């Protein structure tokens, strides 16, 4: 992604040299924030993240961290550095995705998006005040952000003036008074994008309940076809290694009695065109929030109370794994089968090295520990975690680094 759309800025450089005489040159620095647009009749999404939990009506999250380190800078004896961005203070950041080390996107409350180009973060808006729940893409010029079935946005490159061009995508469903959000998005290509969330739709004249969709071509544009018909389910995450290996995880049951749920499809369509799904025993009652795998036979899921599950080839159920925390875990991502990160409430950061999960630490100011919601990286030494008013960066393990018990 080009830096042509970054706001005008002034930079600060400190140059010191000791050659018998010490000279210090100081130049002041500031960054101008990008303007964002709002809808006059926009509403917040039906669910927002507050303290790591969903609440009705959308909520403003109190600022929890004063980030004082740059993306690659030192953080003393801890391994994760808070990174300053121009994302508005007090807004939750809930999801992160990128196509590479110099192309990273984060999204969150009030339609906010921020982009890292390898040099600085640039804030913008997709053109809504609804809370964005997830971001994903196929490359630098194809990025998607979702909020609700009628609030799906796509960035397809730079508009006139060099700003990223976010445009609304054809709505899945436009019914008045409809409640529900899209929790997650994933795909196999720019023409095969999957979305789902916490609702069930029964269209007029159609007997099958719809709970998830994938893109199809309609008159040269984007349309949607059903992918699932789960009833009374809240799907939190989609992950797949390809079109023939796709998992969803989340919860099933009522709001007062929710149980863990995980299902898999090999992509083969049943009658009516939707894929056939097989539910698998999770071995826990904990709600699952995220899934990631290194391949078809190596998939991980995380959830409530520090739950960590592993699914391996040749088995017919998930296996609970010893966890170093009891805090709810909301995100998981790995650089490989023996290098996996999970993040969660109260600043929880845990890592798997192929043998065991252990706690990591971050430089939170004033000992404040914000809830973390998402994690993604371009490689083992370039990993990002996001949460309540904070963006963290990991640039590699430090010998003798501090370890915390979450």
| Burial class of 96 by CB neighbour count within 10 A (0 to 12, 13 to 18, 19+) | buried
- Please write the tens of the pLDDT for every residue from 320-342: 999 999 999 999 999 999 999 99
First-to-last C-alpha distance (Å) of the chain: 36
| Burial class of 347 by CB neighbour count within 10 A (0 to 12, 13 to 18, 19+) | buried
Beta bridge partners of 336: 339
More confidently predicted of 254 and 204: 254
Q: Read off the pLDDT of each residue in 57-74 and give the average, rounded to a whole number.
A: 37
Q: Read off the pLDDT of each residue in 356-383 and give the average, rounded to a whole number.
A: 92
Tokens of 384: 């990002």
Give the percent of the chain with pLDDT over 90: 55
- Name the least confident of 61-75, 195-209, 256-270, 354-368: 61-75
More confidently predicted of 383 and 216: 383
Task: Specify the residue for token string 């991502």.
Answer: 333
Beta strands in 179-220 (DSSP E): 182-189, 192-201, 210-218
Q: Which CATH class is domain 40-394?
A: mainly beta
Distance CA 105, CA 124 (A): 11
Residues 27 and 15 sit within 8 Å (Cβ to Cβ): no
- Please write the tens of the pLDDT for every residue from 103-127: 999 999 999 999 999 999 999 999 9
Residue 193 to residues 154, 185, 244, 245, Cα–Cα distance (Å): 11, 7, 14, 14
Distance CA 350, CA 1 (A): 30
pLDDT, position 4: 36
Q: Read off the pLDDT of each residue in 193-202 and give the average, rounded to a whole number.
A: 81
Q: Read off the pLDDT of each residue in 50-67 and give the average, rounded to a whole number.
A: 33
């Amino acid at each position: 992604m080009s830096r042509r759309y970054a706001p005008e800025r002034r930079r600060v450089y400190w140059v010191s040299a000791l050659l018998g005489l010490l000279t210090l040159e100081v130049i002041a620095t500031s960054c101008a924030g990008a303007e964002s647009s709002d809808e006059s009749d926009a509403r917040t999404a039906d669910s927002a993240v507050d303290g790591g939990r969903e609440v009705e009506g959308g909520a403003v999250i109190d600022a929890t961290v004063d980030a004082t380190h740059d993306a690659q800078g030192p953080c003393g004896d801890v391994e994760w550095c808070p990174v300053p961005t121009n994302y508005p203070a007090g807004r939750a950041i809930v999801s992160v995705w990128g196509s590479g080390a110099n192309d990273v996107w984060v999204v969150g409350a009030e339609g906010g998006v921020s982009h890292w180009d390898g040099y600085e973060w640039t804030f913008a808006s997709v053109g809504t005040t609804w809370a964005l729940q997830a971001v994903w893409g196929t490359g630098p010029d194809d990025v998607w952000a979702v909020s609700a079935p009628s609030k799906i946005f796509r960035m397809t490159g730079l508009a006139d003036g060099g700003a990223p061009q976010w445009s609304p995508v054809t709505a899945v469903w436009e019914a008045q008074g409809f409640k529900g959000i899209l929790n997650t998005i994933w795909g196999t290509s720019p023409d095969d994008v999957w979305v789902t969330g916490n609702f069930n739709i029964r269209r007029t004249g159609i007997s099958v309940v719809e709970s998830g969709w994938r893109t199809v071509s309609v008159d040269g544009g984007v349309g949607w076809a059903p992918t699932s018909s789960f009833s009374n389910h809240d799907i939190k995450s989609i992950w797949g290694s390809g079109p023939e290996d796709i998992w969803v995880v989340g919860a099933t049951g009522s709001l007062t009695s929710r149980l863990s749920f995980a299902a898999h499809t090999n992509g083969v369509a049943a009658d009516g065109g939707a894929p056939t799904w097989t539910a698998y025993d999770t071995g826990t009652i904990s709600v699952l929030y995220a899934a990631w795998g290194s391949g078809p036979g190596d998939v991980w899921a995380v959830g409530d109370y520090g739950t960590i599950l592993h699914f391996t080839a040749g088995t017919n159920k998930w296996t609970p794994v010893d966890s170093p925390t009891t805090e709810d875990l909301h995100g998981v991502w790995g650089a490989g089968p023996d290098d996996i990160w999970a993040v969660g409430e109260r600043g929880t950061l845990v890592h798997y090295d192929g043998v065991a999960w252990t706690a990591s630490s971050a430089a939170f100011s004033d000992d404040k520990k914000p809830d973390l919601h998402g994690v993604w990286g371009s490689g083992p030494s370039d990993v990002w975690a996001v949460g309540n008013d904070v963006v963290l960066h990991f640039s590699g393990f430090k010998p003798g680094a501090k370890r915390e018990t979450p």
